[in-house]
Chains A and B, each alone.
Chain A
Amino acid sequence: MLLTIPVLLGVSLAVFSMLHLLPVDPVDLLIMDSTTGTAPTSGVTDEMKENLRRELGLDRPIPVQFVSYIWNALQGDLGMSFRNNQPVTELLLDQLPYTIRLTLAGLATSIGLGLVLGILGGLRPNSWIDNLAMLVATFGVSMPGFWLGLMMIYFFALQLKILPALGTGSPQALILPAIALGFQGSAIVARLTRSSIVEIMRGDYITTARAKGLPESVVVLRHALRNALIPVITVVGLEFGSLMSGAVITETVFGRPGIGRLAVRGILEKDFPLVQGFVLFIAVIYVVTNLLVDLCYAGLDRRITFD
């Protein structure tokens, strides 16, 4: 668990140096008009640029900038955004609820759809249900989320007019973004659940449970599924992190607010502190969910303990 600290340090160092390796003065990028990619509509003097540079702390040596960044980050201060004139922590926290809502909805889609497809397939291996379920799963894995998103907007919003194209404003507005985000994950969950179930159903204790005269539903849901869930939970835990970063694309396609959309703008506008803050934040999410997954194992399987 102590490994998390060097991991996080490494991530922030990598991001920090990448942005500083750009060949161009960030102050020039800062005053560029981000909508048209051209110069601002007024004369900007060198003196103004120097003032900006000093104000943003960009005149200090890079190692000094890094150390002060880490020191502040430990206290929850990720610096000021270049572009928004607001602290990065505040920006991220402002947008976080939208992303969490979307991520949870996406996760629910992944798990719900994945488990149903996986159990159906796993109970009757190589039947037509199994083949169909795995076809859907393969389809899901192969499809990029932004494409699925645009296609769903085309069919459900434009042609059928039953769901809104934009991802905010009403409860049903969350449906399309959640599917676009969670579908790929559901395919992974489905394949994993299926192979797990297939293996477990051959186990002796399943035969025993059946021999005791338990109804098939109890056998599957209480005995088989519980054990089949262990690998699934690992994936779902990792999935949470990747869904959160996957929100980057989904939020942009559906015009939803969130930290992903914030990060996209940060990248396009070379907003150093914002991008650093976002990447660090996602890294923390990954590390924390991994930790939680480890703890979940113990809850599900008493044979796993932590020393």
Chain B
Amino acid sequence: MAVHKRTLARSLSLLLLVAMLALTGASVSLAQDAERGGVLTYAYLQKARSLDPNVWTGRSDNDIMRQMFDSLIYSPAPGEYTPWLAASWDVSDDGLVYTFTLRDDVTFHDGTPLNADAVKATYDRMLDPETASLQVGNLGPYDRTEVLGEYEFAIHLTEPFAPLLANLSSTALAPGSPAAFEALGDDYALSAVGTGPFMFDRWEGNDLYLARNPDYNWAPDGWNHEGPAYLEQIIFREVAEPATRMVTLQTGEANIIHYPVLDEVASYEEQGFAVHRVDTPGFAKSMPINIQLTPTDDLLVRQAVLYGINRQQVVDLIQAGLANVAYGPLTRASFGYDPAVEEMYNYDPERAAALLDEAGWVDANGDGIREKDGQNLVAQMIIFDSGVNKATAELVQAMLAQLGFEATLDVTAYDAFATRVTDGTYNFAEMNWTALDPHLVLFNMFYSSEVTGGGQFNRTRIEDPAIDELIARGRSATDLEERAAIYAELQTYVMENALILPLWDNSWITLTAPGVDGLVFDLEARPLLFNVWVE
């Protein structure tokens, strides 16, 4: 009995202890929530040209729009979608009608309620030629939006379009305030009105001030808290010079930066700055190989290049090791990425040499350059001067020379580069493209209709009915597994034919100062500053 009593007392006190701990725990986390806040100062590449996600596409501008605009649905992983502004949705069996039911408690920053009419107004405005929207392609074969009730609407398509859900989760199709479209007119572009956790406050010179949206209470699952954002204010200060951007982190004039000087990232990490790296979905940084021009019209030569270029070394030297080697057209973070390509061309210079011998290119006169029928093995490389493009191309050029190519490189401005692409006078060009859904990039890079057109993107210059068919099937397959299988087949096909020289998966590097906590990114590597607080 006594024993029993003691046990009871012990368990009671244990219970009390647990309860107390739980209480203190709760109060600690409450206190933390109350304390979390602060001001984030972002040393930014350039002043935003537009804050209107329905119209403008710029990468750095879209990172700002993500803070101001919510999408209908949220994508926590490639091909996965969860509710955001839309509480639920349904896709018809024929893939032509997408019916959405919106949350009923959402308002835009100007107080306008979010309802079906607002969504319809957003898409109608995008389609209006007056708006000159560059994002209208995100709607695909769009027919119309039908308002079914206060919070219910249907998007009608003229043919199935699998990328629609991915596009609906991006900023491009995020609803804007119809009242603000009317009221602000041309000024809307630089003072846009969405439903997001931060809202436009003011411009000071080239610096943009966003304020916390105090009414925000519709964060999607997976964000770290409910209610409004922690940060009171975000300041995007334009600092165009990369070296100065790095310094502002040290002087405390900024506590977050992007587009760092890659060579300095490691030393900043040692000094206690946090390095955030996100690998993005889309088309890998690659060199499309022109299959219409000799000698890369020969499959053996193209395969030799893929075996003979040491891609790990390229990544180490050019990207300071801050990226993964790419083996196929799609990056690892893309929907439908197939790891099978990783086994196809591992670095093997001897194999490369053997393939070139087999193709009839031999260095008979001993000058280091292979010949066939009295012609040197030439490789014409073209690149436009931007970021690491030039250094990358020079390194690949040196590697080609080691394989026995007489490799020439023309580094020009984008205009001249685009002209060469149009003329088809190159063996190796350049491509990379961050995109949530693989369809658009694969279509642009490999579909037969994209071989011509001026600075076009099918820089492999391939017109192949087998590829066209796979791309068309991938576009309309609404079943995720079926769609992934189609893209797996396409990736293997592209690499079997050695159509591109993939170099690395695009990665996105952000640096933060100590004291900045909670930073996470979405699939497109856009920062989700809702989750951030500054100590």
By a beta-carbon cutoff of 8 Å, the part of chain A in contact with chain B is: 22-25, 28-29, 31-45, 48, 51-52, 55, 83-86, 95, 98, 150, 153-154, 157-158, 161, 164-166, 168-169, 252-257, 261, 264-265, 270
- Minimum C-beta distance from A160 to chain B (A): 11
8 Å CB contacts to A: which residues of B407-441?
A: 414-416, 418-419, 431-435, 440
Contact size range, B: 35 or more
**Interchain CB contact under 8 A, B247 and A154:** yes
Complex-state Cα separation, A270 to B455, whole angstroms: 16
Residues 376-396 of B, flagged 1 when their CB comes within 8 A of A and 0 if not, give: 000000001011010000000
Interface stretch, picked from B134-142, B143-151, B330-338, is B134-142
Complex-state Cα separation, A199 to B135, whole angstroms: 69
- Minimum C-beta distance from B153 to chain A (A): 22
Are A51 and B386 CB-contacts (below 8 A) given A35-B45, A261-B206? no
The listed residue with most A CB atoms (<10 A of its CB), out of B134, B207, B387, is B134
In the complex, B186 has a CB within 8 A of chain A: yes
Interface stretch, picked from B65-73, B248-256, B364-372, is B248-256
In the complex, B108 has a CB within 8 A of chain A: no
Complex-state Cα separation, A177 to B58, whole angstroms: 29
Are A24 and B251 CB-contacts (below 8 A) given A39-B444, A83-B49? no
In the complex, B198 has a CB within 8 A of chain A: no
Complex-state Cα separation, A153 to B251, whole angstroms: 10
- Minimum C-beta distance from B252 to chain A (A): 9
Interface stretch, picked from B30-38, B237-245, B287-295, B486-494, is B237-245
29 A-B pairs within 8 Å (CB atoms) are namely A22-B415, A23-B418, A24-B414, A24-B416, A28-B455, A29-B415, A31-B134, A33-B57, A35-B45, A36-B386, A36-B434, A38-B432, A41-B433, A41-B440, A43-B444, A44-B134, A48-B132, A51-B132, A85-B186, A150-B241, A153-B244, A161-B251, A165-B244, A168-B207, A254-B241, A255-B239, A256-B205, A261-B206, A261-B240
Are A23 and B253 CB-contacts (below 8 A) given A42-B440, A85-B189, A261-B206? no
Residue of A nearest to B140 (CB): A43
Complex-state Cα separation, A165 to B253, whole angstroms: 8
In the complex, B129 has a CB within 8 A of chain A: yes
Which residues in B have their C-beta under 8 angstroms from that of A33?
57-59
**Interchain CB contact under 8 A, A42 and B189:** no
Which residues in B have their C-beta under 8 angstroms from that of A39?
433, 444, 457
Residue of A nearest to B384 (CB): A37
- Minimum C-beta distance from A116 to chain B (A): 30
Please pick, from B49, B206, B419, B434, the residue contacting A23 in the complex, using a CB distance under 8 A: B419
Which residues in A have their C-beta under 8 angstroms from that of B440?
41-43
Are A35 and B58 CB-contacts (below 8 A) given A51-B129, A164-B251? yes
In the complex, B195 has a CB within 8 A of chain A: no
In the complex, B46 has a CB within 8 A of chain A: yes
Which residues in A have their C-beta under 8 angstroms from that of B250?
158
Complex-state Cα separation, A98 to B204, whole angstroms: 11
- Minimum C-beta distance from B300 to chain A (A): 31
Which residues in A have their C-beta under 8 angstroms from that of B433?
38-39, 41
**Interchain CB contact under 8 A, A255 and B244:** yes
- Minimum C-beta distance from A88 to chain B (A): 14
Q: Please provide the 4 A-B residue pairs with the shortest distance between their CB atoms, ordered closest to farther.
A: A43-B137, A257-B205, A42-B137, A255-B239
Residues 41-58 of B, flagged 1 when their CB comes within 8 A of A and 0 if not, give: 001011101100000011
Complex-state Cα separation, A149 to B389, whole angstroms: 27
Please pick, from A28, A255, A264, the residue contacting B418 in the complex, using a CB distance under 8 A: A28
Complex-state Cα separation, A124 to B250, whole angstroms: 45
Residue of B nearest to A265 (CB): B46
Complex-state Cα separation, A98 to B387, whole angstroms: 29
Please pick, from B206, B386, B432, B454, the residue contacting A257 in the complex, using a CB distance under 8 A: B206
Residues 108-146 of B, flagged 1 when their CB comes within 8 A of A and 0 if not, give: 000000000000000000000100101111100000000
**Interchain CB contact under 8 A, B247 and A153:** yes
Complex-state Cα separation, A264 to B59, whole angstroms: 19
Complex-state Cα separation, A239 to B386, whole angstroms: 33
Please pick, from B58, B60, B136, the residue contacting A48 in the complex, using a CB distance under 8 A: B136
Which residues in A have their C-beta under 8 angstroms from that of B419?
23-24
Are A253 and B135 CB-contacts (below 8 A) given A24-B418, A28-B454, A35-B58? no
In the complex, B172 has a CB within 8 A of chain A: yes
**Interchain CB contact under 8 A, B136 and A24:** no
**Interchain CB contact under 8 A, B414 and A41:** no
- Minimum C-beta distance from B181 to chain A (A): 14
- Minimum C-beta distance from B183 to chain A (A): 17
**Interchain CB contact under 8 A, A166 and B240:** no
Which residues in A have their C-beta under 8 angstroms from that of B138?
42
Complex-state Cα separation, A261 to B206, whole angstroms: 10
Which residues in B have their C-beta under 8 angstroms from that of A257?
47, 205-207, 238
**Interchain CB contact under 8 A, A157 and B172:** no
- Minimum C-beta distance from A101 to chain B (A): 11
Are A44 and B418 CB-contacts (below 8 A) given A51-B132, A161-B251, A253-B241? no
Residue of B nearest to A153 (CB): B247
Are A37 and B435 CB-contacts (below 8 A) given A24-B414, A42-B135, A51-B132? no
Complex-state Cα separation, A28 to B45, whole angstroms: 22
Which residues in A have their C-beta under 8 angstroms from that of B253?
164-166, 169
Which residues in B have their C-beta under 8 angstroms from that of A265?
46-47
Residue of B nearest to A255 (CB): B239
**Interchain CB contact under 8 A, A252 and B415:** no
**Interchain CB contact under 8 A, A40 and B134:** yes
Complex-state Cα separation, A156 to B444, whole angstroms: 49
Complex-state Cα separation, A168 to B250, whole angstroms: 17
Which residues in B have their C-beta under 8 angstroms from that of A264?
240
Are A23 and B415 CB-contacts (below 8 A) given A164-B251, A166-B248, A261-B240? yes
Residue of B nearest to A270 (CB): B415
**Interchain CB contact under 8 A, A24 and B415:** yes
